[in-house]
Structure 1
Amino acid sequence: MAVKRSVRPSLPFTLYLLLAVLLAMAPVIYLISFAGYTGVRQELEADTEDLRGQTEYGTALTINLVDAGLRLFDDTLNREMREGFGPFVAEYERAGRDPGAMDLFRVKEELGGRMDLYIVNESGVIEYTTYPPELGYDFKEIPAFYDRITDIRLNGAFSDDRVVPELATGVLRKYAYLPSPDRRYLFELGQAAPEFWQQRAALNCADAVREVADNNPYVSEIRIFDCRGELIAGAAHPDDDRRLAMVRQAYRERTTLEVENATTGELVRYLFVDRADSVYASDMSVVVELTYTTKVVEEKIAGMFAQAAGILLIGFSLIACLSAVAMHSLTRPVRTLVEDVDAIARGDLDRPIRVSGDEEFVRLGGSVSAMVASLKETLQRLRDSEEAIIRHSHTLEDEVRARTTALEESNRTASFLLDIMGHDINNANNVANLYSDLLLADLEGEPEAELLRKAKAGLTKSIEIVRNVNTIQHIEGRPGAFRAIGLDRIIRNEIESLPGSRITYTGTTAVVLADDLLREVFSNLLGNAAKFGGPDVEIAVRVEEHGDEVTVSVEDTGPGVPDAVKPRLFNRLARGTGGVAGTGLGLYICRTLIARYGGRIWVEDRPGCGTAIRFTLRKAGEGDSP
């Protein structure tokens, strides 16, 4: 008897043990490397963030220091601007406080020609001026500035301003404001001089900011914008529409905004530097656009990751080498034991088990030796049992063959007896039925006639039982070989067998796949409808074709089938609950035949009253023989 061998693993035990050690050490090495990598990365990111903060703080501080120096220079012009309003107001009074009648150009010449005059109306529009490019400018376009000059016009007095670029051409001018005596207008003086540019060149905040930004290696570009979003320092960009929107948002919200572009590796920060002063109407605040490159940091982080991965790989390699040496020494007794066990598995049961090493291996070797001895005894018993089974199997085959032959003979005898019984009982029933008819004719009107009718009903039921049993026997004994059969002939034959019934049928040309037993379906259904429907029952047979299927309906106007009976209506020996009961085999035969033909049968309530039993049959094809 063959003994099935266990499948040997594809890898040696030493390698599995080595892998287990490496898997156990891997999390430790990984956690150490990851902790070091994470710490260095966080430190680098923190240093980068601190350097960015120092750069932005230094930028804001530098701009404020430069602005403080410029403000000192701007204030040196206040006295000259204040004195210039004297002739301005005098001309307003001379013209009867009608700005249209004022000679502004004469006043400009009187002031030395260095100052332009502006008259701003209540709506914030420059209505009159000696500087045509700014005539009609509406200060409402700068809401904060408009609110400030309106407050000066209504509530203030002389108010000096800073040296700022004019709105039309960008020329630097020193401005000052004075409300008209009737506070209907705001007088404005604007002085332009070449030394303004020289002063700005000497105190250039852009150069100072660049010096601060040069200390940060991550700053790739710096640009400065004024309160109106005009570029003060720096080069233009193709996407300045988007960038100017961020500048205006930072100025409007007076905060710092940040936009990161992972694709280009850039981080753009819009730093709002607040230089607003309630003393001056103009807001000198600026927005500094600082562009940082993140590629340098990412490259350093990638380098640290590669270094950490290298350390991890080296650690794995060292542990693997040391573990391999240790595992080879530790598993030597196991390998020896495996060799002996493999020899035994190949059939060499006399192979001795070599044991060495620790006590556990000695005990394991003894256990294997005991197991081999037990295996020898078991194999011997199996051989003895196998021989006994072989002897018994030969005897059992003869017994089975004899019993099979006897069973087949019994089946043939039973079928023969059923045929004889069906034939003889049918003949006896038919003779008894004939004499019953003759007696009924002689006893018509006599009291004994009713008893004879009951006896005749019993004979009819007996005939029906024998016919159903014969039908079932034929169903079970015949193979499923079907042919093309026309439904019309079968239906009409069965209708003719019930001459006293009122049956409606319009005919059909449908041809289905069935055999001669199909007539039993119509015989049972029409007979049931006539028998259970009552004396006035009306029966209708309908045939409908649907594709490859034919649906046949047998409907009656009888009392119908109770809902409790419907689920078991087509079961074997299922009978109704009324006064008239059948054998319980008719509908079972219908269901069996319809299933045999590949169709299905079911019962429905007929609209109004009565019952409709419907079933389907497969249509015959052109190649099916009749």
Structure 2
Amino acid sequence: MSGIDGKKLHLGQYSLSYHIMIVLLVIGMIFISMVFFILYYQEKHAIQSDYLLSQQYGEESLINAVQLADQSFSFYDNVYNQPLRLALLRFREYYNQSHQQAEKMDLFKIRNDIGTFFDLPIDIYIINASGAIEYSTFDTDIGLNFSSYPKFSEKLRKIRDGDTIAYDAIVTGTKLGEERKYAYIPTPDHRYILEIGINLDEFFRKEGISKYPRLAMWYSKTRNDVKSLWIFDRTVLSAPDIRTSIQGIEVYPAVFSEVEGRKEHLKQVFHTKENLLIEDPSSETITKYLYIPQLSSSSVSSGLFDKVAEITYTTTQIRERENSLLGKIILLAVIVILVFLMIVVAITRYITRPVYQIVEDIEKIADGNYDHQIRRTKGFEFRRLESSIQKLVLRLKEDIISIKQKSNELDKELNQRLSAEESLKAANYKLSLLSSITRHDILNQISVVSSGLDILEDDVPRNEETPHYFSLIRDAISNIHEMILFSRIYEEVGVYKPAWQNLSKIIIETKKSLNTGSCKVIDNTGNLEILADPMFDRVIFNLIENVLRHGGKVNQISFDVSMSGDKCILIVSDDGIGISSSDKEKIFDRGFGKNTGLGLFLTREILSLTGILITETGRPGFGTRFEIYMPPGKWRISPGDAVPE
């Protein structure tokens, strides 16, 4: 970050260049992250797509290879068709010789006789009308019922009802999994089907023919992500041991192991004829059950010996490729970010350099050098800024000179006012002291006059006018005394700041200081507080005392509150004789009344100090009603319980 005379230009806590750099870095990081995220996603998708496409091509090749391998056995099919035809005709002759009673036929003897047509072991079978093998030299297949294979059962029915020999392709035995070649011929009475099966398993072992293991070995070599490959046909659904249904199990390149749910998965694929995918993240493998349909042919078992290839793929290699891709992307991103950071630093320095230059010039001007010129910088906007600052400095210079002049004038005026205020304070103090002394002396003289009047009253001869004159003199002395006391009280009005005062407390204290007699003072003000002069208690005193003195026979005085929004009215009412309509405003004038006429005058003066108004709204003959209007901010309701009396 740039500096100015060792000081950094700060916007808040950090410099302008820091803020610009952070903004550019945030924008750049977001953009770079998005670009590399998209790049990584696309490359990862490409790796997965290539892998899936390669897998798809490999599986299609495997399907074609299995189908071609099945077709490649057609040579052996054709070689054994002629011996099977001759053997089946001899088999049917034996059936006729037994008077078409299958139970009387010696199948082992017949097998030995017709076995001379073949160089491989054979077995013979008699299939009844329900599609089950009723008699056979191969005990394992006796009782095998083909009705569970509807298509194959329908073909057997057609063979039994016909009069021709039907040849089957080389298929896998349903019990022990041997490779066999079958042929069928109906009996003349169409009750049975006579069947001969050539066991080619020994021949294939001797000749080293193992089509499916060879294909498994080929597929495993072409793809290094294959852990195992097993090819099953429908015999797996009825085989007591699933191993017996795997042709050439010992030749397969992988070691056979039991897999949980394998038979259920195979059943599902054979039933739905759709591929099934089973993922196992713990072992990083994916097992795919690939459906391989049997190519259609004229053989009896056509469509019955489709296959399912169980292929177990490992996902380790594709994960390694994805991790390698991620590492390359991160490394490339770090390099790009470092380059971008250097570019941001260079751009930031280039952008903020004119700003720092202008700030340096402004600091020199701020230190008092108003004649310092703003240096020229690059950029139209900065030149406008320089020109504006220069104009501002000139005007500021003029304003400062003007302010200094006015400041000097104000200092002189302030000194004069302070001197006048000190003089006024001294005068007020002297007047206050003089008033205090004068009041004291007058009161002393009044005491002398009052004492002299008492003596004189005893010595002066009595007549009709004498008591009247003495009463006037005593009233005059009392009024002078009241006025002197009023001057002392009035002198204190407005001297101190207004304060919040609890109305209920003042009413309670006032009741204690006055002899209310049988008159009840009812307080309904609750926790109302009023912002008024500290002499507000004199207001309450004057209102109660005025009612007691001039209200006639008064039974009660009530203090009530009326609120509306932010307005509040304190209502002081009684049940006395009231005030005439003509005197409602006069009662607040100084000197009006039967006595000194200063009580209500003082009340209005004390309230006016805080903007509080007082009026009298009672009906003559029904008592007085004083309404005290308190503006917003001059009253409040304090929390807590009401003040107890």
Question: TM-score scaled to structure 2, two decimals?
Answer: 0.57
The residue aligned with 1:11 is 14
Equivalences for residues 445-524 of structure 1 within 5 A: 466=556, 470=558
Are 1:353 and 1:368, in contact at CA under 8 Å, matched by a contact in 2? no
CA distance, structure 2, for counterparts of residue 340 and residue 120 of structure 1: 115
CA distance, structure 2, for counterparts of residue 384 and residue 369 of structure 1: 24
Q: 1:274 aligns with which of 293, 315, 338?
A: 293
Are 1:63 and 1:209, in contact at CA under 8 Å, matched by a contact in 2? no
CA distance, structure 2, for counterparts of residue 159 and residue 178 of structure 1: 7
Q: 1:365 aligns with which of 368, 389, 401?
A: 389
Q: Which moved more, 1:193-202 or 1:285-294?
A: 193-202
Structure 1, residues 167-222: CA drift from partner, whole Å, max 9, x if none? 33333322212222222222221222565323773352321342244222333322
One-letter amino acid of the counterpart of residue 269, structure 1: K
Q: Which SS does the other structure have where 1:190 is aligned?
A: strand
Are 1:256 and 1:270, in contact at CA under 8 Å, matched by a contact in 2? yes
Q: Which SS does the other structure have where 1:308 is aligned?
A: helix
CA distance, structure 1, for counterparts of residue 129 and residue 402 of structure 2: 120
The residue aligned with 1:521 is none
Are 2:370 and 2:393, in contact at CA under 8 Å, matched by a contact in 1? no
- CA drift at 1:393: 13
Taking a change above 3 Å as real, the CA distance of residues 422 and 382 of structure 1, as seen in their structure-2 partners, is farther
- CA drift at 1:135: 1.7
Whether 2:238 is the aligned partner of 1:204: answer no
Q: Which SS does the other structure have where 2:261 is aligned?
A: helix
Whether 2:193 is the aligned partner of 1:186: answer yes
Taking a change above 3 Å as real, the CA distance of residues 110 and 238 of structure 1, as seen in their structure-2 partners, is closer
Equivalences for residues 603-622 of structure 1 within 5 A: none
The residue aligned with 1:309 is 330
Are 1:51 and 1:216, in contact at CA under 8 Å, matched by a contact in 2? no
- CA drift at 1:34: 4.4
Q: 1:408 aligns with which of 521, 534, 537?
A: 537
CA distance, structure 2, for counterparts of residue 31 and residue 205 of structure 1: 49
The residue aligned with 2:454 is none
The residue aligned with 1:100 is 103
Taking a change above 3 Å as real, the CA distance of residues 259 and 397 of structure 1, as seen in their structure-2 partners, is farther
- CA drift at 1:270: 2.0
- CA drift at 1:424: 2.8
Are 2:91 and 2:114, in contact at CA under 8 Å, matched by a contact in 1? no
One-letter amino acid of the counterpart of residue 274, structure 1: P
The residue aligned with 2:515 is none
Are 1:268 and 1:289, in contact at CA under 8 Å, matched by a contact in 2? yes
- CA drift at 1:224: 0.9
CA distance, structure 1, for counterparts of residue 269 and residue 209 of structure 2: 28
The residue aligned with 1:68 is 71
Are 2:10 and 2:16, in contact at CA under 8 Å, matched by a contact in 1? no
CA distance, structure 2, for counterparts of residue 212 and residue 20 of structure 1: 56
Equivalences for residues 3-402 of structure 1 within 5 A: 8-26=11-29, 28-30=31-33, 32-112=35-115, 114-155=121-162, 157-193=164-200, 195-198=202-205, 201-229=208-236, 230-232=245-247, 233=249, 234=252, 240-282=259-301, 283-339=304-360, 354-358=374-378, 359-366=383-390, 369=393, 372-373=396-397, 376=400, 398=495, 400-401=497-498
Q: CA RMSD in A?
A: 4.2
The residue aligned with 1:552 is none
Q: Which SS does the other structure have where 2:14 is aligned?
A: coil
Structure 1, residues 515-569: CA drift from partner, whole Å, max 9, x if none? xxxxxxxxxxxxxxxxxxxxxxxxxxxxxxxxxxxxxxxxxxxxxxxxxxxxxxx
Structure 1, residues 369-427: CA drift from partner, whole Å, max 9, x if none? 25754885898789999998x9899999847559614533112222445677899333x
Question: TM-score scaled to structure 1, two decimals?
Answer: 0.59
- Contiguous gaps of at least 5 residues in structure 1: 1-5, 427-465, 474-595, 600-626
Taking a change above 3 Å as real, the CA distance of residues 29 and 471 of structure 1, as seen in their structure-2 partners, is closer
- CA drift at 1:313: 1.9
Structure 1, residues 480-529: CA drift from partner, whole Å, max 9, x if none? xxxxxxxxxxxxxxxxxxxxxxxxxxxxxxxxxxxxxxxxxxxxxxxxxx
One-letter amino acid of the counterpart of residue 182, structure 1: D
One-letter amino acid of the counterpart of residue 290, structure 2: L
CA distance, structure 2, for counterparts of residue 343 and residue 28 of structure 1: 42
One-letter amino acid of the counterpart of residue 199, structure 2: A
- Contiguous gaps of at least 5 residues in structure 2: 1-8, 237-244, 426-492, 500-531, 562-638
Taking a change above 3 Å as real, the CA distance of residues 326 and 367 of structure 1, as seen in their structure-2 partners, is farther
CA distance, structure 1, for counterparts of residue 229 and residue 402 of structure 2: 92
CA distance, structure 2, for counterparts of residue 226 and residue 262 of structure 1: 28
- CA drift at 1:225: 0.9
- CA drift at 1:310: 2.0
The residue aligned with 2:457 is none
CA distance, structure 2, for counterparts of residue 243 and residue 378 of structure 1: 101
Identity value in percent: 20
Q: Which SS does the other structure have where 1:264 is aligned?
A: coil
Structure 1, residues 422-441: CA drift from partner, whole Å, max 9, x if none? 99333xxxxxxxxxxxxxxx
Q: Which SS does the other structure have where 1:217 is aligned?
A: coil
Number of aligned residue pairs: give it.
431
Q: Which moved more, 1:128-137 or 1:319-328?
A: 319-328
Taking a change above 3 Å as real, the CA distance of residues 173 and 8 of structure 1, as seen in their structure-2 partners, is closer
